[in-house]
Structure formats: C-alpha cells, structure tokens
A and B are shown apart, each in its own frame.
Chain A
C-alpha cells in the first residue's frame, strides 16, 4: 500500500477494481467502500491470535492497521514469538501459552485467527468454533481430510464463521481474472498448469533451547522438529499443504468443481537432509468435465518461479504475472476503421500501411495486463479486512469455506497419491453435501 494513500482510499479503489459481478456475490464487505458510503462499521471486533510465528506475525501487522480490529489476546507456546507479539500490541493484548485458557478467560472475545502449524489447525479451530468464536484459520485446513471435514461440519453446526486463508480470493488481480474467465474471455477452460518453484532448503535456523520447556516433548522431540515442522510428516504435508493448496484453490474455483481423480509422483531428490516431506511433487488432477490441472512444485530450482497458467481455446492467462494473451491478435486500428466504414457504407482513405512490423523476428508478446492498476497487496490485507467485516456483519462466506475445504482435500489427496503410488479417487464421504 503506498504510504500517501489512505487505507480508505485503498479499499475503495480496490473495491472498484475488483469488478462488479464477483463483488456482488463474494465480496459484500467491499460494497460499502465501492459506493463511497463508508460501509465500514465502527464496531470493534475483539480478536485473539493463536500462533504468531512468521505468518501469524504478518497477520498481526496487518490487523494492527485495521481500526476495527482490536487485538485483545495473543497466544503462542514459543516464548520469543509470544513476547514479540505482546510488544507489537504495546502490551495491550493479554498473552497466553494455552489457547484453551485464552478461549475461556478472555471476555467478549469475538474471533480468533489461527496460524499455528498445520497439524494443530483442526483441534484449535473446532474448539474455538464450539466456544462460539468466529474463526480465521490459515491454509491448509488440516493434515488429514477427515479433520478438514470435521472443521467444516463444526462451522455449519455452530453457525459460526470459518474463513480459510486463501488470500487470492481477495486479490483484485485474481478477482478481475476470475470475472473475465467466467465471462468467457478464454473460452471453456481446457487446461490449467500451475507450479511453484523455489531454490532453498526451506529450513529455519534452530535456536538453542529445550523444547520441553514450552512444548509437549511427545509432540516435538527436539527444537529441530518444533522449528522446522514443515519438513516432517507428523506435522505437515510439505509443498502440498504449504504451497500447492493456494494454487489448487484457484484451479478449483476457475473450473467450478473439485478434482475427482488424482495421480502424482514425488520424491526427495535434492535436499537429502533428514526431511520427510518431498522436495519435488508432480501431479495431474482430473476434473469431472475432462479438464486436467497439471501441477508441480520443487525446492531445487527457482528459474520458473510460481505461476498459474489458465488456458482455453480463446486465450491464456498467467495469474501471478497478471497478464493475458488472446489466441487471435488485436485488430490494427486501420483495419478497425475499415470494418466500421464497410458496415456504415463509407468509402474513405484508411491508415493501413507502413513498415510497422519487423520481418521474421521472434515476437515477444507480453500480453495485456489483467488489471490496469498495480496494487501492492497480494490479498492478505484484504482477506483480513474481509474477516473483520464478516465478524462485524455476521456474514459467513460459506462459498469461501468450500473453496478452502476442497483446496485442502485436493492437496491431501495429492499427497496420498504420491505416497501410495496410486491413482486416488475423491471419496464420496468427503464431498460436502450442504454447501
């Protein structure tokens, strides 16, 4: 967000840019800003944050800029993170090391934001929902599909909000792309390719200390497992749950469905450092209409970075780059004038010719921007604005919950396919019946 731009201006501009169709159906919280009516309420939302490591820390930074967000409690079992979070709130937030105590003891706690390691999401989320809290939980939802299903069922039974952290659903560039795709800009989507490539070991430095001083040693045998939980199967599904789920969510949304068959292969072919999750994953997701999503992620080469390539008979979009290409070129201005003249019975000189193109030279077609204006937010800030607004207004965003759920399921079934070396079919019992 540019410094000179006020938050209100930013949100208003975002709302306008987000487009109308999706705005009406999925981003109701933006409508007030778009209309310039000051749709935001002054009502404060009392929020507790559970898990204030890297992602939780970022969320806290964003929430502190939202006037309606009142951070009344922070919770983390790791003392350095907890102390940092308390300092950031100028010690206004009460600190906890046990989230259950936070749920019990903080008066009028409206909502919690959960950014703990993956394997703890389900328990904490379910407890918070049952305690009557509105919940924002980071993606992926859970380490096993059954837990993700329980989270959804609990949200529905309690009637509480459960929003999953898929920020692309709040990113104006993506929303504009979704709108164009739904309007048929690319034709029927026939293939999606997505990838996320990094060249790093994904390790975090392990500080000295005894994990038993603050965590359950049955759960974390040492500091290495506590700090680098993403690398171990007891806590994480690695690239699938940390990265792929974002892009699978986008694919699911665009295709308007979830994958019914998944085949994948993964291995540890470079970072043979004791990790248990794959450092490269390669999958094909088959959808009911015959469309496939081809996905891969790796940790030993970053040349291609990350991208979602959406392809149809009329064109291509690259969502991360925010560019789109038509299978047919745009008309030359002179040809457009000719067409107009013919249609209207006009015979006039036409600006048609000139040595305007370089012969036999490979043309680097940079495509057109999906969104004309660049916003310095990947949707993370906006999804938190959305969460606060939803808590204020009582909106539930059930369609977003379904998006988060099926993204998690796709990630986890992909994992299953890789570890079992089998084609995995979406189990009927995992299909949501009531959303």
Chain B
C-alpha cells in the first residue's frame, strides 16, 4: 500500500486540502503548518469580511486618502493591475458596487444603472503608488473584492513552499474551484483532475491532466445557482455591469494558480470576440473550456487546448 500525507484546514471561506504521496514525517508536518500559516496570512490581509484586513481598510478609506498597505499585498495588487490591462479590463476585481447593486435589487435592477455604476468604479479608478506602497481610489464607489484572485495567490504561495522544500509531487485543492497539481500522481503521469457535473457530482464532465499546472473554475454551482428572473450569476462584466447568465462554468489550466484564477473569471464574462483576444494575449494557457448545462445535460465548449 502506497503511503501518503494528507492535511486539511479552513481558509478563505473554504477548505484547503493537500495530498503528498510520501509517508508522513516531521518535515511534512512542518510544511503543512507553514502552508496553513501562509494561507491564513493572506486571508487576514485580503478578506473584506475582516475589519482590519488591508482590503477592508482600503475599501473604507481608499477614496478619502492614499492608504498604505503591506508590501506583499501591494505586489499582489500590482499583479492585478497587470492582469487588468492584459485582459483588456475583463478581469476587474474593483467593481464591488456593481455586485452590491444587483444583490440589493435582488437581481431585478436596471441594467443602465448597473452600467453607470460600473463606469464610476472598477480598476480604472484604482491608483497604486509603488514608492509609498499606498493605494487610492478615485471614486467612493470603488471597492475591491479579492474573491477573484485571493485563492490563486495563496495556492501559488503554498506550491512555492513545497517546491522550495524539495517536494516535487503534490495535489493542493482550495474547495475544488482552485487546484494545483505539482509533479504527478504516484501511479500515473499526471494528476487527473475531473470537473464534475453540477447535477451529478460523481460524474466527470471533463478531466484535466495536471502536471505542474493549476486549474481554476468559475461560474454556477449547486451552492451558487443562477438567481432572479434572468438567471443571473454573481459575476459581472466590468464594462456593462451585467451579470453572467445561466448554468455555466469556465475552467482554465495554466502553470500559475493566480493566472488560472484571473482567466477563469475573465473567460466567464467575455463574449466571443473578447475570448479570442484573451486566447491570443495569454499564449501559455494549457486548456480552457466552458461547460453549459441545458436541462441538466452538460455541453462542453473548448477555447484552448494545448494538451493532447
């Protein structure tokens, strides 16, 4: 019987699980503790539900004055800035006001008002000052929701801790929506990570062969069902302010967990033309698919497949 090391803990509003195909040891225990500390560090810095987190302070005070934040968090926001530009604005974690609008109107709000809100908020209104590690919001409507990138960041850091300790093979999962496969499965060439059918969770719709790659999924789930008369999901197009519609999920694999996280959201909100743009801009995507459910039957659309 092959040995393995398994640990799990709660973090960032979900469960973090790690499987390392080696016998348990003090070294692995120590690494697991480091990873938990790292993930919780990011949680405490990023969560907008913790009053003293950097993001909470920023959301409270960012429109009043430049807010100095932790340097690592600042670097993360710089990375968001790069992705905002690289995705042509499709990745925009600063449209909290749009999210609030749709929630408050119970998904029956006026699309024009949503667009107006989007126009007055978003990453275009976020100003980073790398000299002083400060962030300023141009408008009071601007607010950051780290939900679209936080887990990717934490997963990347967790992977780094393992690699630096010489661990070559491991599978890390953040609630199933963000997965990192280091190296390979002990009895196969990769980690065979299936995306399950929402309505039949024991069945895989598609299997991603992860080998030193991350997988991120965004969209509908049984816990997050399309809501309101138009079947909206709480993911929004940054320019139109319109929510994504229907039983749809997008899954993306790239080498980097943060990038996978960014792209699964961007692809979900993008139209056909915008998806082509993303595909060209991000040449390192390994695979990207969309699953659309009609009458609970899953249909797959593949945007990118550089994996045979």
Task: Give A residues with C-beta under 8 Å from B.
Answer: 327-335, 338-339, 341-363, 365
Contact A342–B185 (Cβ < 8 Å): yes
Q: A354 and B12 in contact (CB under 8 A), knowing A359-B177, A360-B47, A360-B150?
A: no
Interface presence of B105 (CB below 8 A): no
- Residue-by-residue, is B42-54 near A (CB-CB < 8 Å gives 1, otherwise 0)? 0000111100000
Q: Which B residues lie within 8 Å of A350 (CB)?
A: 191-194, 204
Across the interface, name the chain B residue whose C-beta is closest to A362.
B49
In the complex the two chains form, is B192's CB within 8 Å of A333's CB? no
A351 and B202 CA atoms in complex are apart in Å by 6
Query: Which A residues are in CB contact (< 8 Å) with B174?
Result: 357
A324 to B79, CA, bound (A): 40
Cα distance, A363 to B15, chains bound together (Å): 10
Contact of B195 among A331, A354, A365 (CB under 8 A): A354
Closest to B21 in A: A342
Task: Evaluate whether A352 and B150 lie within 8 angstroms (CB atoms) in the complex, with A339-B19, A346-B187 already known.
Answer: no
Which residues of A sit under 8 angstroms from B82, Cβ to Cβ? Answer: none
* B186 sits at the interface (CB 8 A): yes
Contact partner of A353 (CB less than 8 A), chosen from B1, B7, B195, is B195
CB of A331 within 8 A of CB of B8, answer yes
Interface centre among A328, A342, A345, A363 (most CB of B within 10 A): A342
Please tell me which stretch of B59-67, B122-130, B214-222, B278-286 contacts chain A, meaning at least 4 of its Cβ atoms lie within 8 angstroms of it.
B214-222
Q: Is A360 within 8 A of B12, CB to CB?
A: yes
Tell me which of A328, A351, A354, A361 has the highest count of chain B C-beta atoms within 10 A of its own C-beta. A354
Chain B residues, Cβ within 8 Å of A354: 176-177, 195-196, 198, 201, 217, 221, 249
**B209's closest neighbor in chain A, by CB?**
A349
Min distance, Cβ A79 to any Cβ of chain B, angstroms: 60
Beyond the given A347-B188, A357-B174, could you list 13 further A-B residue pairs with CB under 8 A, ordered by the A residue number?
A: A328-B9, A329-B15, A335-B19, A342-B187, A345-B1, A345-B187, A347-B187, A348-B192, A350-B193, A354-B217, A359-B12, A359-B148, A360-B13
Could you jot down 16 A-B contacts, CB within 8 Å? A342-B185, A346-B187, A347-B185, A347-B188, A348-B192, A349-B194, A350-B191, A350-B192, A352-B176, A353-B208, A355-B249, A356-B175, A359-B14, A359-B150, A359-B151, A361-B147
Q: Could you give, for residues 1-12 of chain B, a 1 whenever the CB lies within 8 Å of some chain A CB and a 0 otherwise?
A: 111101111101
CB neighbours of B186 from chain A (8 A): 342
CA distance A342 to B169 in the complex (A): 12
Contact A343 B1 (CB under 8 A): yes
How far does the alpha carbon of A328 sit from the alpha carbon of B14 in the complex, in Å?
Answer: 11
Q: Whole-angstrom distance between the alpha carbons of A406 and B60 in the complex? A: 52
Counting CB contacts under 8 A, is B173 at the interface? yes
CA distance A113 to B106 in the complex (A): 59
In angstroms, how far is the closest chain B Cβ from the Cβ of A223?
A: 53
**B219 touching A355 by the CB < 8 A rule?**
yes
Q: What residues of chain A lie closer than 8 Å to B46, measured between beta carbons? A: 360
Find chain B residues with CB under 8 A from A344 CB: 1-2
